[in-house]
């Protein structure tokens, strides 16, 4: 499944900007939408704030050292001066790695310092936290940083130190809040804090998804999704609709058997439900065929596994697929198809090695099966092996010259290769390739959709928009296209209203379109409507088709949630549209 949808997702912003998706959700004025402008505005706000700069772990601040009077006038020194002196001693010990001693002097500084000297006091606490940090005393680090931040809420150094200590203490939620504040204060310019945010979001997302995915209700995708999934297989048996004649042939085949049994239960019944789009009944009909050890057991196992995959239950699908793959005397097309599906499942579980093995085995047992190459090509794209992907698409085209999908995906692979290789002439020839594909296959919606993505990438927005209109004309029921077109309006004209209208339309067409909810959530984050965003992300989470996708959505949701907390606590917000 991962394979079929892979190429239809938009070109990941990661490819161009090096930013993970959650960051784009946080960062308004994503480099794409507003670019430098927002960063500039935000930078100006920040200069006016008292944001402490962050350097190495060295807590000393030279100019303060110079301010401190030394020696002679000790008696006339104010308490603050004495505190500074103690701090400077602490710094000296810190520099030579005597952290226990440093802590003693920082403590003295804290005790001496008049309570109204908040800025100094917060520095002393931050310095002591740095020393505790060196000793791995995380609880003390958190306590001191908390004091420092209470007195100076925009103290980046203290916030970041606390974030790291909280991570060590496995308090991811609060860690995320601190690091979010840091990222906002630094206008997302510091790699170190961005990496921490990324790491914590991923861990939280994975943990939550693991729990939630296990306990979720099975969910049948929309009929559009199911049809599109099956249409990505052309060389297998179970995907083919029963032709009118074929049904009769089946009955003729079984002259001796009781025809009414065939009619009322089992695999053929399941196939009939499939044609009627009555998908909820398919698994149980297949089970009847399997339990009665009917003549279509292998087909029934494969079809049941396919629906287990579609409802997102890989645990249930795997034994069925294993069984079909091991049936040496079953039709080789069934076994190859089972291998493709198990391979895609492994890919979804982030096991690329097992996945590749299955695809390779499928190519060995059924070397003339075009589906194997088509799906393996998509896998290679996910693995960033573009050259191998192109070879697979070529093989598929050779076996099935009318495969418009493979041609379009090949163009897309070539485009990505050219784009990442920064080769303008190759980019141009990939674009020409797309023109060729849509001329030769004018009814293949995917061709227009992929071309539109490449065009958007090349900032040829007007033409991209025309291509999406073609898709909509060909497949008015495909919600995904409306989302892509909506995103295009944002990028092209910064037209939020039209963008949101199109995405709402997508949800109207298919209220199980997780991509639409995710996108809408991202836009709401950018508009500063965090509650609405969280609501959208939660809807998408409930529809996620794999644990990995769910983990990613949790990251987006947690990032938005952390922002609401940061806004409440510190009054900090990234700029909004």
In the complex, the residues that contact ligand NAG under the rule CB under 6 A are 8, 216, 218, 224-225, 228, 313, 315-316, 423, 425-426, 445-446, 449, 471, 475, 478, 480-481
In the bound state with ligand NAG, the residue whose beta carbon lies nearer, of 282 and 445, is 445
In the bound state with ligand NAG, the residue whose beta carbon lies nearer, of 224 and 460, is 224
- Output the smallest distance, CB 287 to ligand NAG, in A: 10
CA 213 vs CA 154, 519, 543, 546: distances in Å: 38, 21, 10, 8
In the bound state with ligand NAG, the residue whose beta carbon lies nearer, of 58 and 231, is 231
Could you tell me what percentage of the chain is helix, strand and coil, using 3-state DSSP and rounding each to the nearest 5? 75, 0, 25
Q: Could you write out the DSSP letters of every residue in 332-385?
A: HHHHHHHHHHHHHHHHHTT-HHHHHHHHHHHHHH-TT-HHHHHHHHHHHHHTT-
- Output the smallest distance, CB 432 to ligand NAG, in A: 13
In the bound state with ligand NAG, the residue whose beta carbon lies nearer, of 120 and 392, is 392
- Output the smallest distance, CB 212 to ligand NAG, in A: 10
CA 144 vs CA 249, 431, 534: distances in Å: 80, 58, 32
Sign of the dihedral defined by the CA atoms of residues 390, 396, 401, 405, in that order: negative
- Residue with the closest Cβ to ligand NAG? 8
- Output the smallest distance, CB 7 to ligand NAG, in A: 7
For residues 516 and 486, what is the distance between their CA atoms, to the nearest angstrom? 10
In the bound state with ligand NAG, the residue whose beta carbon lies nearer, of 172 and 288, is 288
Q: Which residues contact 111 (CB under 8 A, 6 or more apart)?
A: none
For residues 290 and 306, what is the distance between their CA atoms, to the nearest angstrom? 15
In the bound state with ligand NAG, the residue whose beta carbon lies nearer, of 190 and 224, is 224
In the bound state with ligand NAG, the residue whose beta carbon lies nearer, of 91 and 480, is 480
CA 512 vs CA 67, 211, 472, 515, 552: distances in Å: 65, 21, 18, 9, 17
DSSP label of 74: G
For residues 562 and 530, what is the distance between their CA atoms, to the nearest angstrom? 10
Distance, CA of 533 to chain centre: 16
- Output the smallest distance, CB 383 to ligand NAG, in A: 19
- Output the smallest distance, CB 453 to ligand NAG, in A: 8
In the bound state with ligand NAG, the residue whose beta carbon lies nearer, of 259 and 424, is 424
Q: Which has the closest alpha carbon to 533: 542, 541, 524, 544?
A: 524
In degrees and rounded to multiples of 5, residue 279 shows phi and psi of -70, -25
DSSP label of 140: H
- Output the smallest distance, CB 94 to ligand NAG, in A: 51
CA angle 389, 391, 395 (to 5 degrees): 115
- Output the smallest distance, CB 317 to ligand NAG, in A: 8
Q: Which has the closest alpha carbon to 430: 461, 388, 473, 386?
A: 386
- Output the smallest distance, CB 224 to ligand NAG, in A: 4
CA angle 223, 227, 231 (to 5 degrees): 170
In the bound state with ligand NAG, the residue whose beta carbon lies nearer, of 236 and 475, is 475
For residues 268 and 418, what is the distance between their CA atoms, to the nearest angstrom? 47
In the bound state with ligand NAG, the residue whose beta carbon lies nearer, of 37 and 218, is 218
Q: Which has the closest alpha carbon to 392: 380, 382, 403?
A: 380
In the bound state with ligand NAG, the residue whose beta carbon lies nearer, of 60 and 460, is 460
- Output the smallest distance, CB 521 to ligand NAG, in A: 20
- Output the smallest distance, CB 404 to ligand NAG, in A: 12
């Amino acid at each position: 499944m991962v394979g079929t949808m892979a190429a239809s997702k938009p070109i990941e912003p990661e490819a161009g900007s090096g930013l993970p998706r959650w960051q784009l959700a946080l960062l308004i004025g994503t480099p794409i939408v507003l670019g430098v402008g927002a960063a500039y505005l935000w930078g100006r706000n920040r200069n006016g704030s008292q944001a402490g700069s962050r350097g190495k772990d060295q807590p000393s601040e030279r100019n303060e050292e110079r301010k401190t009077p030394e020696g002679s006038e000790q008696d006339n020194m104010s308490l603050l001066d004495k505190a500074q002196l103690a701090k400077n001693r602490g710094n000296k010990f810190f520099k030579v790695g005597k952290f226990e001693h440093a802590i003693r002097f920082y403590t003295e500084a804290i005790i001496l310092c008049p309570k109204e000297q908040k800025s100094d006091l917060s520095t002393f606490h931050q310095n002591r936290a740095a020393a505790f940090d060196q000793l791995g005393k995380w609880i003390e680090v958190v306590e001191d940083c908390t004091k420092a931040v209470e007195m100076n809420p925009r103290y980046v150094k203290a916030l970041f130190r606390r974030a790291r200590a909280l991570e060590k203490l496995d308090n991811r939620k609060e860690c995320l809040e601190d690091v979010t504040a840091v990222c906002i204060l630094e206008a997302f310019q510091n790699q170190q804090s961005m990496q921490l945010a990324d790491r914590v979001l991923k861990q939280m997302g994975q943990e939550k998804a693991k729990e939630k995915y296990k306990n979720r209700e099975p969910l049948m995708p929309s009929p559009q999704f199911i049809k599109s999934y099956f249409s990505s297989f052309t060389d297998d048996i179970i995907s083919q609709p029963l032709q009118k004649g074929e049904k009769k042939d089946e009955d003729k085949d079984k002259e001796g058997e009781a025809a009414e049994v065939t009619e009322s239960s089992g695999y053929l019944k399941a196939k009939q439900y499939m044609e009627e789009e009555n998908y909820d009944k398919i698994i149980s009909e297949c089970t009847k065929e399997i339990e009665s050890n009917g003549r279509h057991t292998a087909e029934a196992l494969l079809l049941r596994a396919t629906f287990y995959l579609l409802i997102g239950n890989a645990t249930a699908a795997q034994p069925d697929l294993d069984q079909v793959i091991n049936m040496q005397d079953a039709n080789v097309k069934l076994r190859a198809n089972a291998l493709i599906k198990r391979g895609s499942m492994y890919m979804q579980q982030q096991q690329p090695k097992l996945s590749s093995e299955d695809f390779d085995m499928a190519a060995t047992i059924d070397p003339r099966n075009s589906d194997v190459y088509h799906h393996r090509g998509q896998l290679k794209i996910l693995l960033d092996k573009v050259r191998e992907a192109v070879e697979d698409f070529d093989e598929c085209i050779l076996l099935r010259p009318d495969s418009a999908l493979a041609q379009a995906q090949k163009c897309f692979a070539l485009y990505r290769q050219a784009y990442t290789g920064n080769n303008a002439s190759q980019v141009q020839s990939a674009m020409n390739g797309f023109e060729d594909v849509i001329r030769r296959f004018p009814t293949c919606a995917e061709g227009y959709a992929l071309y539109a993505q490449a065009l958007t990438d090349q900032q040829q927005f007007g033409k991209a928009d025309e291509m999406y209109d073609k898709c909509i004309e060909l497949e008015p029921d495909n919600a995904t296209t409306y989302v892509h077109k909506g995103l295009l309006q944002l990028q092209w004209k910064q037209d939020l209203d039209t963008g949101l209208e199109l995405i709402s339309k997508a949800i109207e067409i298919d209220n199980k379109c997780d991509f639409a909810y995710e996108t809408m959530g991202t836009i709401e984050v950018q508009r500063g409507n965090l509650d609405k965003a969280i609501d959208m992300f939660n809807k998408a989470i409930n529809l996620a088709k794999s644990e990995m996708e769910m983990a990613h959505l949790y990251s987006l949701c947690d990032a938005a949630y952390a922002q609401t907390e940061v806004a409440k606590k510190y009054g900090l917000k990234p700029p909004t549209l």
